[in-house]
Amino acid sequence: MTSRMHCASALALLVAASLTSPGRADSISIINVVNSNGYQFTNFNLPDSGTAPPLTAGTNMNGISNSGTAVGFSIDNNGNFHNFTANPPTSTGATALNINGSTTAMALGVNSAGTVVGTDGNGNAFSLSGGVVTTFIPNNGTAATAFGINDKGTIVGQYTTAGGTVPGFILQGTTVTTINAPSGPNTVNAQGINNNGLIVGFYVGTDNQFHGFLANASSAVNGSLTGTPITDPTIPKVPGEPGATFVFSQVLGINDHGIAVGYYGDSTFSQHGYFYNTNTGTYTFLDDPNAAFNNAGVEITQITGINNSGEITGFYSDANGVFHGFVAVAVPEPSSMALLGIGVASVVIWARRRRKTTAPSHR
């Protein structure tokens, strides 16, 4: 198939569009603002965040635009999803997103124009712009999720083919490009795309674990391209995780400077955030300072998005296994090296740890 969608597919992209009611105005709940390792973290909860442990409720922040708007969802104690955009630390306001009334929809990416993408919870990818929800599944597939969108409106994500494979996709207008895995089963999550067309994400390798990849939209031939593997991080020693070894890596976002963010999982089931410099191939590690071990000995930080100003967003788990969101900005600290990420060398920096206290993969 060529990179152009069949007419029927292009039509299906549009017919599902529907008007939504205006999002309600609400407020995030600030937990604290704390400086750590060259970053100032604003930790917060979205409205409707539950507190049911372990690892079933709270706030997940999933992306941040170059205008500073972050997007994510809260999960209440009944397991319902509530999607919002917010602008911490400059504002405590939150705007609810109505995705066709779905309580299982997930908002996963946002651009500077305020267009939000994700999954409607019913097997369709969606984009939300100007109060209009458009659902779609590329290439006559059976299901799809959109994970990222750049300022040019190009969307990346994952879809399920009629044959049962799960490649990634790039959607530019009505033109679809398939992203295939570098190796292993063809299971690809295209998570982010910058304004230069550089794509990051992760795939299932021959070891059945997740590994990061890079791709460039301009390298597509006949409607498809194959990702390039990113070397897995050599993980540092972490207090409270003796003997931990690397298990998997997920790259989740990238800015126009080529600085990507994500997290790795280790053999203790904990997860830790990182920066990956695509220009130098180096990693820098960073956890939210409020992240804590739960009573199963697991802690989680995921860095899910980064913008051109170096702001990052993501979420962490506390000692009760409840998730909380954060937005962090680089600040000068006399006692530490600034982390971020335009050509910096790899520096292992870890947030302080609390008592042993868990959580699953974000996506």
- Percentage of the chain beyond pLDDT 90 is 83
Domains and their CATH numbers in the chain: 7-330 (2.120.10.30)
Q: Residue 333: what pLDDT?
A: 59
Place of tokens 């600034």: 338
Q: Residue 332: what pLDDT?
A: 79
Q: With 70 as the cut, is the pLDDT of residue 335 above it?
A: no
Strands 224-226 and 175-180, by their bridges, are parallel
Backbone angles phi and psi of 345, in degrees to 5: -80, 160
Going by pLDDT thresholds of 50, 70 and 90, the confidence category of residue 2 is very low
Q: Residue 55: what pLDDT?
A: 78
Arithmetic mean of pLDDT, 225-250: 96
The CA distances from residue 334 to 24, 135, 338, 353, in Å, are 42, 49, 9, 21
Alpha-carbon span 233 to 343, nearest angstrom: 17
Helix (H, G, I), strand (E, B) or coil at 11: helix
Going by pLDDT thresholds of 50, 70 and 90, the confidence category of residue 334 is low
- Percentage of the chain beyond pLDDT 70 is 85
The CA distances from residue 116 to 20, 46, 69, 155, in Å, are 13, 17, 10, 10
Q: With 70 as the cut, is the pLDDT of residue 260 above it?
A: yes
Q: Residue 273: what pLDDT?
A: 98
For 57-114, write each residue's pLDDT tens digit. 999 999 999 999 999 999 999 999 999 999 999 999 999 999 999 999 999 999 999 9
Alpha-carbon span 358 to 347, nearest angstrom: 26
Helix (H, G, I), strand (E, B) or coil at 326: strand
Q: Residue 318: what pLDDT?
A: 97
Q: With 80 as the cut, is the pLDDT of residue 28 above it?
A: yes
* The pair of three-digit structure tokens given for residue 146, joined into one six-digit string: 């959109």
Radius of gyration of the chain (CA): 19
Q: Residue 139: what pLDDT?
A: 95
For 80, other C-beta atoms within 10 Å of its C-beta total 15
Going by pLDDT thresholds of 50, 70 and 90, the confidence category of residue 53 is confident
More confident residue, 283 or 342: 283
Q: Residue 134: what pLDDT?
A: 98
Residue 281: left (phi > 0), alpha (psi -120 to 50), or beta?
Answer: left
For 268-277, write each residue's pLDDT tens digit. 999 999 999 9
Three-state secondary structure of 54-123: CCCCEEEEEEECCCCCEEEEEECCCCCEEEEEECCCCCCEEEEECCCCCCCCEEEEECCCCCEEEECCCC
The DSSP code for 345 is: P
Place of tokens 């369709």: 124
- CA–chain centroid gap for 148, Å, is 8
**Averaged pLDDT of the chain:** 88
Give which of 153, 188, 190 is closest to 172, Cα–Cα. Answer: 153
* The pair of three-digit structure tokens given for residue 126, joined into one six-digit string: 């969606």
Helix (H, G, I), strand (E, B) or coil at 363: coil
More confident residue, 19 or 65: 65
Q: With 70 as the cut, is the pLDDT of residue 338 above it?
A: no
Arithmetic mean of pLDDT, 7-16: 31
* The pair of three-digit structure tokens given for residue 294, joined into one six-digit string: 């739960």
Q: Residue 73: what pLDDT?
A: 98
For 293-325, write each residue's pLDDT tens digit. 999 999 999 999 999 999 999 999 999 999 999
For 163-215, write each residue's pLDDT tens digit. 999 999 999 999 999 999 999 999 999 999 999 999 999 999 999 999 999 99
Determine contact, residues 67/45, Cβ cutoff 8 Å. no
